[in-house]
Amino acid sequence: MRTEQPQMIRLSAYQQPDYLINETHLTFELYEEYALVHAQLVMQRNPALDTNLPPLHLDGQELSLQRLALNDRELSADEYQLSPYQLSLQPDSEAFVIDSTVRIEPQNNTALEGLYKSGGMFCTQCEAEGFRKITYYLDRPDVMSRFTTTLSADKNRYPVLLSNGNLIASGQAEEGRHWATWEDPFKKPAYLFALVAGDLWCVEDRFTTLSGREVTLQLYVEPKNIDKCQHGMDSLKKSMRWDEEKYGREYDLDIFMIVAVDDFNMGAMENKGLNIFNSSCVLAKPETATDATYQRIESIVAHEYFHNWSGNRVTCRDWFQLSLKEGFTVFRDIQFSADMNSKAVKRIEDVAYLRTHQFAEDAGPMAHPVRPEEYLEISNFYTLTIYEKGAEVVRMIHTLLGEKAFRQGSDLYFARHDGQAVTCDDFIQAMQDASGQDLTQFKRWYSQAGTPVLNVTDHYDPQQQVYRLKVKQSCPATPGQPDKAPLVIPLAVGLLDAKGRDLPLQLAGETQASIGTRVLVVTEAEQTFEFIKVTDAPVPSLLRDFSAPVNLFFAYSTEQLVFLLKHDSDGFNRWEAGQQLAVRAIKALMADAKADLSAFIHALGAVAQDPTLDVALKAEIFSLPSESYLIEQFTQADVQAIHQAREALRLQIAVQLKDALWTRYQSARHISQEVEYSAQADHVARRRWQNVALSYLMLTELPEIVLACVDQFEHADNMTERFAALTCLVNSSLCYEKQQALAAFEREFADDAQVMDQWFSVQAGSFLKGGLGRVKTLMQHPKFSIKNPNKVRSVIGAFANQSLVNFHQADGSGYAFLAEQILQLDRLNPQMAARILAPLTRWQRFAEPQRSAMKKQLQRIQQAEQLSPDVYEVVNKSL
């Protein structure tokens, strides 16, 4: 909690560490009431700096110091200084050893940062600055050290004792205790440290690397979850192979372990050799996990594994460089998932997410560059901008350089910086050196916040057979950045002829035409691209595959969008044309409830019937833009009006396309009943299409459809179908069926925390009237706990982020409720409190009276006593 004004940390103030820690020897004695941590730090003056000996300041928070020695000599209290954040002392030689013992209370650690207890086990989370809650240390990523860790604990309660690296010794101790010593041969920053002690079972497998090294793979879980490990293990093996093939990266230790824990602030953590996962991001079996969960697990397991190179072997110099590891690693996991599943669908899902959430962040008061320049609390900077926009920036480098040069660049980066803590500039430099392309202007993507806008106009000259695209780029002002310089924007385009085929493209000055998509590189504020030998006025397909994270505007007619939806060879842009048509239809309904939507609905009907179209893509095209995305399309959004118009459009689609949807639903459901469950892409696509169709059909509430839905809920053998049916019932007006289904589901899964999270969130996220009352009731449920982040996300988070009509009630009751929860949570878990605050920070996007009511609650939080730095920073910035 805050005892003084938090200090702003600035990139411009970066200085190398005065001292280095060559070796770190830790011993943990774990007990029920406390833990003792002994740390022996073998240190030296940083040889890169001059030889005078400044005071040494070790970071440390909430530690109770028991003993401190310098070079084996115990220090008396007047030989060091303690503050709530630091331990300071004066070394008397260039090389020295510090020994400390601290007492901590993991069982009372509700912030879930440092060493804490989840269920019956001990575990850790150190990124970004959790290690300082374990022992006094130079807790910064550019201090890399070799660690050995010994843990001792009661053998019955904690038969499994794990830490980073390889197990080198273990044994029995007195009073029923035992111990284990782990040694990590790789230097690492403290944020990658981990330990686990618990009563865990493990699934084991093996992997042989390309160079023939044998690696043991272990997935540790609570015994009740032992049948949920297969998919996580398969995903790990696929990731390991893929990283060898795609990036030439091999695993480097003899053992790789994953541990699943129930209480975790985020998805997972890439600790060296010992990844710790939120159970919801690694455990699955078909009866309890949906296809979406299966895919999320595959990508998160891959993401954490890929960090072994992009993050661990090559790490960040300081936390301003966070996107160096996160943006690059997200890009890598996206490539991986695209290779494992449908490429077009993966791109659509990622872009929908980016545009809805990251664009909103970049347009609001929390906007910051991919490489921020200052922060109060680094935990607040694990943002969509660092992760998702950071990945888009790496993707653009990939597009500009091409596959081969990009790989040469990444090889050079890993070779040049292995074992180092580096910066985003070092990454770009490697890409530049390997490719010979000048990336100086491109680097602005790292320092400029805000979503760029591309305004495109066209002109066709039939006499000269010339087609011109004029591109203007601009970028809205963001906090602290009123003026922006032009960026390098790869703009992938195609031109369609009257039959919808891609035209050969030849720019003025070129001797040859190329077929299909080509990338125009926009570098100026205004630029014109001139295509020659164009025999007919074409329809442009712009920003194919979403080649840059920008807002593109082109004055398409409805006919042109329908044409693109039907013909574009770029799957992404087919979907995009449908989304633009849907936005138009919803806006039209907002202006006039009787607006004519026949062009759009007719085009959707053609999509449903199109035998050549991939069903996965059909399902995406039928998924209307989310309410959150629509809100971003207005400067003063009226949530209730948006919701009503969107639902009205869904109902019209359902009524007008009922027969086509019903036939397709029935045939897909029939196949699902006949074949065994599989998480393969084609099966996932079929179920998705089936469930999208069902969600429309259920709007009609026709008896035969309700029967089919209840049947799917009761008899499907997998969670994907069951949960989709449950969601339809929960959002319907069918009280009896809804109550029956919810009660049956609760009875069946009462002891499965992950499934109960789903049960909570489908109710908390429902748009039906009375949302706030429902949420308050859910919070009284015995399985709800405000101390468990997954429960907070599935109840409070689902309400504020999904049940938008309820959260944005005109009387402000939803906002007042959220503010109360934030204040309560801030005392327990500041990181979570700051996260669930996000919806309120967007207050300026909404029309009155919501806007003022949201602001009022932010002010209320701002005035509360003893805010954590986490909440303090977010609230102050957003006001």
Instruction: Please report, as ranges, the residues that interact with Zn ion according to CB under 5 A.
Output: 326, 329
Task: Return d(Cα 725, Cα 691) in angstroms, integer.
Answer: 8
Q: What does 269 bind: ligand B3K, Zn ion, none (CB cut-off 5 to 8 Å by kind)?
A: ligand B3K
Q: Is 800 in the site for ligand B3K (CB under 6 A)?
A: no
CB-closest chain residue to ligand B3K: 127
> Do residues 233 and 315 lie in contact, with contact meaning Cβ atoms separated by under 8 Å?
no
Residue 128: is the preceding peptide bond cis (ω within 30°)?
A: yes
Tell me whether residue 232 or residue 486 sits nearer to Zn ion (CB atom): 232
Q: How many other CB atoms are found less than 10 A from the CB of residue 710?
A: 17
Task: Return d(Cα 125, Cα 520) in angstroms, integer.
Answer: 44
User: 713: which strand partners?
Assistant: none
Q: How many other CB atoms are found less than 10 A from the CB of residue 285?
A: 16
371: left (phi over 0), alpha (psi -120 to 50) or beta: beta
Task: Return d(Cα 123, Cα 107) in angstroms, integer.
Answer: 11
Tell me whether residue 382 or residue 460 sits nearer to ligand B3K (CB atom): 382
Q: What does 128 bind: ligand B3K, Zn ion, none (CB cut-off 5 to 8 Å by kind)?
A: ligand B3K
Q: In the complex, what is the shortest distance from the CB of residue 303 to ligand B3K, in angstroms, rounded to a whole number?
A: 5
Q: Which two tokens stand for residue 860?
A: 């209320």
Site string for ligand B3K, 288-327 (x = CB under 6 A): ---------------xx--x------------------x-
User: 539: which strand partners?
Assistant: 496
Dihedral through CA 346, CA 349, CA 355, CA 357, nearest 10? Answer: -120
Task: Return d(Cα 289, Cα 300) in angstroms, integer.
Answer: 15
Q: Is 128 in the site for ligand B3K (CB under 6 A)?
A: yes
> Do residues 561 and 581 lie in contact, with contact meaning Cβ atoms separated by under 8 Å?
yes
Among 293, 337, 379, 448, interactor with ligand B3K by CB under 6 A: 379
Among 197, 269, 590, 661, interactor with ligand B3K by CB under 6 A: 269
Q: In the complex, what is the shortest distance from the CB of residue 327 to ligand B3K, in angstroms, rounded to a whole number?
A: 10
Q: What does 347 bind: Zn ion, ligand B3K, none (CB cut-off 5 to 8 Å by kind)?
A: none
Q: In the complex, what is the shortest distance from the CB of residue 330 to ligand B3K, in angstroms, rounded to a whole number?
A: 8
> Do residues 168 and 181 lie in contact, with contact meaning Cβ atoms separated by under 8 Å?
yes
Task: Return d(Cα 334, Cα 394) in angstroms, integer.
Answer: 11
Among 34, 382, 554, 634, interactor with ligand B3K by CB under 6 A: 382
| Segment interacting with ligand B3K, rule: CB under 6 A, options 235-243, 265-273, 448-456, 639-647 | 265-273
Q: What does 712 bind: ligand B3K, Zn ion, none (CB cut-off 5 to 8 Å by kind)?
A: none
Q: How many other CB atoms are found less than 10 A from the CB of residue 263?
A: 23
Q: Which amino acid is at 769?
A: K
- Look-up: residue for tokens 């044994």? 171
Tell me whether residue 275 or residue 448 sits nearer to ligand B3K (CB atom): 275
Among 11, 36, 266, 466, interactor with ligand B3K by CB under 6 A: 266
Tell me whether residue 228 or residue 303 sits nearer to ligand B3K (CB atom): 303
Tell me whether residue 129 or residue 458 sits nearer to ligand B3K (CB atom): 129
429 Cβ contact partners less than 8 Å away, ≥ 6 residues apart: none
Q: In the complex, what is the shortest distance from the CB of residue 323 to Zn ion, in angstroms, rounded to a whole number?
A: 10
Q: Which two tokens stand for residue 813?
A: 């009751």
> Do residues 284 and 173 lie in contact, with contact meaning Cβ atoms separated by under 8 Å?
no
Distances (CA, A) of 12 to 8, 375, 500: 11, 12, 53
Q: Which amino acid is at 561?
A: L
Q: In the complex, what is the shortest distance from the CB of residue 322 to ligand B3K, in angstroms, rounded to a whole number?
A: 9
Tell me whether residue 300 or residue 363 sits nearer to ligand B3K (CB atom): 300
Tell me whether residue 263 or residue 326 sits nearer to ligand B3K (CB atom): 326
820 Cβ contact partners less than 8 Å away, ≥ 6 residues apart: none
Q: What does 87 bind: Zn ion, ligand B3K, none (CB cut-off 5 to 8 Å by kind)?
A: none
Q: Which two tokens stand for residue 229?
A: 């490990």
Q: In the complex, what is the shortest distance from the CB of residue 347 to ligand B3K, in angstroms, rounded to a whole number?
A: 21
Q: What does 382 bind: Zn ion, ligand B3K, none (CB cut-off 5 to 8 Å by kind)?
A: ligand B3K
Q: What does 266 bind: Zn ion, ligand B3K, none (CB cut-off 5 to 8 Å by kind)?
A: ligand B3K
Q: Is 270 in the site for ligand B3K (CB under 6 A)?
A: yes
Tell me whether residue 306 or residue 446 sits nearer to ligand B3K (CB atom): 306
> Do residues 592 and 662 lie in contact, with contact meaning Cβ atoms separated by under 8 Å?
no
Q: In the complex, what is the shortest distance from the CB of residue 128 to ligand B3K, in angstroms, rounded to a whole number?
A: 5
Q: What does 619 bind: ligand B3K, Zn ion, none (CB cut-off 5 to 8 Å by kind)?
A: none
| Segment interacting with ligand B3K, rule: CB under 6 A, options 261-269, 433-441, 671-679, 803-811 | 261-269
Q: In the complex, what is the shortest distance from the CB of residue 303 to Zn ion, in angstroms, rounded to a whole number?
A: 6
Q: What does 263 bind: Zn ion, ligand B3K, none (CB cut-off 5 to 8 Å by kind)?
A: none
Q: In the complex, what is the shortest distance from the CB of residue 695 to ligand B3K, in angstroms, rounded to a whole number?
A: 32
User: Among residues 298, 304, 576, 873, which one is catalytic?
Assistant: 304
Q: Which of helix, strand or coil describes residue 385? A: helix
Tell me whether residue 423 or residue 547 sits nearer to ligand B3K (CB atom): 423
Residue 605: burial class (beta carbons within 10 Å; 0-12, 13-18, 19+): middle
Task: Return d(Cα 786, Cα 408) in angstroms, integer.
Answer: 48
Angle at 156 between CA 150 and CA 161, to 5 degrees: 25
Tell me whether residue 100 or residue 308 sits nearer to ligand B3K (CB atom): 308
94 is catalytic: no
504 Cβ contact partners less than 8 Å away, ≥ 6 residues apart: 513, 514, 515, 533
Q: In the complex, what is the shortest distance from the CB of residue 134 to ligand B3K, in angstroms, rounded to a whole number?
A: 15
> Taken in order 671, 676, 677, 678, is the CA torsion positive or negative?
negative
Site for ligand B3K (CB under 6 A): how many residues? 12
Q: In the complex, what is the shortest distance from the CB of residue 761 to ligand B3K, in angstroms, rounded to a whole number?
A: 22
Q: What does 127 bind: ligand B3K, Zn ion, none (CB cut-off 5 to 8 Å by kind)?
A: ligand B3K
Q: What does 414 bind: Zn ion, ligand B3K, none (CB cut-off 5 to 8 Å by kind)?
A: none
Tell me whether residue 116 or residue 759 sits nearer to ligand B3K (CB atom): 116
Using only C-alpha atoms, the chain has a radius of gyration, in whole angstroms, of 28
Q: How many other CB atoms are found less than 10 A from the CB of residue 508?
A: 12
Positions touching ligand B3K (CB under 6 A) are 127-128, 266, 268-270, 303-304, 307, 326, 379, 382
Q: Could you list the active site residues?
A: 304
